[in-house]
Chain A
Amino acid sequence: MSRRFDIQYVFDFIPKLLAYLNITLLIVGSSIVLGLLIGLIVALPRLYNIPVLKRLSQLYVSFFRGTPILIQLFLVYYGLPEVLGWIHIDVSRLAVLYFVIATYALNSGAFISEMIRASVAAVDRGQIEAAHSIGMSGYQTFTRVIAPQALGISIPLFGNLVIGNLKDTSLAFTLGVMEMTGRSQTLGTATQHFIETYIALSLIYFVISFGLEKGFQWLERYMNRFDGHRSEKAVRAIWRRPLRAVPLLGKGGKNG
């Protein structure tokens, strides 16, 4: 704060911070993968209405959506060793990074289970009946009819989740993990150029989340390419074609 603002530092800091990008991405990647697993397990009892497990999964989702991630981070860091100590598993020597990943995985799991539920519910009920009527089993209906459509519907939600998770990793420094934000703190302290470090860091976050957003937009269009009214590109392609398909689609997209 005491020294003058110097834009040169921003450019100097960017490569220094990028060196720690892999830790940030490791946290995002592993917590999303684990979160998908947890989310699926948690969503199933509610999708299939299994008595006691349904309540438990509701409680889990409500807790992780109802408390700040920063509190969850501290709760897991201080609580997990204690809880696992009751069943004689010693994790107190484990690196902090694992606690961070565990927290983000548990947190993402709650949001992902909601995402799965919403996407499955968004698939038209008539389609399930149609699938049953041609003799598909429950498993076949799910894997061949529901899942492919639900996947397409869930992409925008999933994209938001991944971007949110990326931004949340900036909190890992509170437990002393050296990812990009943690590094920016030490850089700031060492050089006393705090604003420049935070500008550099913000730019990096911005570029990554912008890239992710574009990537997920592309993925969404790709996944929904067979679904006329959900894919803008497909609609435009049909409009350009002069014959047949035109009267079926209205301008607004939704049922004409």
Chain B
Amino acid sequence: MNLDPSFIWTAGLSLLQALPETLWITFVSVAAGLVIGTVVALCRMYRIPVLSQLSAAYVAFVRGTPMLMHLLLIYFGLPVVIDGLSAAMGWSFTSASIPLIGFVWIAFSITAGAYMSEVVRAGIQAVDKGQVEAAQSIGMTTIQTLRRIILPQALSVSLPNLSNSVIGMLHGSTLAYTISVVEINAQAQIVAADNWKYFEAYIAAAILFWVLTILIERISGWLEYRLNAYQRGGTL
């Protein structure tokens, strides 16, 4: 068996069909993860009684188990819960009406949420406490302080962590093939099996992911430069 360089190109073109699926999985999990992560991080930082313990347990569990487990637990567990509930409550909604990609979105949002909460927490804690006190001394409410003082600064501090998480979720999206969602990895397997050229197909997939990753890094680098504009030029 010899390497067929022209097939790398052919496979690459076919992989592009599955690119939207991969990007959707990444985008949804990162966006939902950011929302979950922010709520979880705030619960823990403001030490809200029961919620903060629950949040801590959630973060510890998700970070201590592989991403694949989250996907499989949701894929096999959620239908049991939903079908049990709808049988008990007499709903017409059953797990069969959830598309496969829905399970991926839910599972990976849960994964991203735990990692994002750490990103948000680190970002918020990096903001000088004196600034919070200053904001409150001029009469800002907690929400105002968060929105106008803490979050903008926390965002620029946590951008490198955030882009790492986005890349992590992009790479994690390859796991979706285990429940038959056709993203780039699954498409690579299909193309490879059809033509019996596995090595070439995976080279194409690797290059595609590599390019996407470098793109995310570049964008985040540019954003970081922009967001830190007001800090440039001064001495620290």
Contact = CB atoms under 8 A, between A and B. Distances in A.
B69 interface: yes
Given A67-B206, A210-B64, 4 more contacts: A66-B210, A70-B175, A72-B206, A198-B76
B199 interface: yes
B226 to A, nearest CB: 23
Interface residues of A, number: 36
Interface of A: 1, 5, 62-63, 65-72, 74-75, 78-79, 82, 85, 163, 167-168, 170-171, 174, 181, 194-195, 198-199, 201-202, 205-206, 209-210, 213
B69 A75 contact: no
B221 interface: no
A171 B65 CA distance: 12
Contact of B206 (A71, A170, A181, A206): A71
Contacts of B185: 68, 70-71
Contacts of B167: 66
Residue among B1, B189, B206, B213 with most chain A CB within 10 A: B206
Contacts of A167: 65-67
B134 interface: no
B210 A199 contact: no
B79 A82 contact: no
A194 B69 contact: no
B13 interface: no
B172 to A, nearest CB: 7
Given A67-B213, A75-B206, A5 B174 contact: no
B180 to A, nearest CB: 14
A110 to B, nearest CB: 12
B138 interface: no
Given A195-B76, A195-B77, A68 B66 contact: no
B27 interface: no
A199 B73 contact: yes
Listed from nearest, the 8 A-B pairs whose CB atoms lie closest are A68-B171, A66-B213, A78-B198, A167-B66, A170-B66, A206-B64, A209-B64, A194-B76
B61 interface: yes
Given A68-B209, A71-B205, A206-B65, A194 B199 contact: no
B202 A209 contact: no
Contacts of B175: 70, 171
A85 B80 CA distance: 49
B220 to A, nearest CB: 14
12 contacts: A62-B214, A68-B185, A74-B189, A75-B203, A79-B199, A79-B202, A198-B72, A198-B76, A206-B60, A206-B64, A209-B64, A210-B60
Given A66-B209, A67-B210, A205 B202 contact: no
A82 B209 contact: no
Residue among A71, A74, A85, A199 with most chain B CB within 10 A: A71
Contacts of A170: 66, 68-69
Interface in B56-101: 60-61, 63-69, 72-73, 76-77, 79-80
Residue among A66, A163, A167 with most chain B CB within 10 A: A66
A180 to B, nearest CB: 10
B138 to A, nearest CB: 24
B80 A71 contact: no
Contacts of B60: 206, 210
B76 A82 contact: no
B80 A63 contact: no
